[in-house]
Amino acid sequence: MKRFVFLYLACLFFAVFVIDATAWLSEHVLGVQVVEPGCKVIRVQPHLEDLQWVEGSFPTPYGAVEISHKKGADGKIETTVNAPEGIFVMK
């Protein structure tokens, strides 16, 4: 029984950690912020810090929003966003 409780708590901790890490990466690194309920309007403002590039997706009720950020030699960030129809993306 003790082993079962330990495994359950370990899985629960891992699941919470993964969910929190994914949300943090989406919001802070990819820079996705939901502006209107239902994800009809989102804002994308990346925070790459020392990273040179990052790619990811953000799930919405309309489908996934695909996002790519690449930092140029001059430090400017080039962002590409492919959003499903019905979503307005603010930059």
Domain positions in the chain are 2-90
pLDDT in tens, 11-70: 545 544 445 667 777 888 899 999 999 899 999 999 988 889 999 999 999 999 999 999
CATH code of 2-90, in short, is 2.60.420.10
Q: What is the pLDDT of residue 20?
A: 60
Condensed to tens digits (0 to 9), the pLDDT of residues 70-91 reads 999 999 999 999 999 999 999 8
Phi, psi angles (nearest 5°) of residue 65: -95, 120
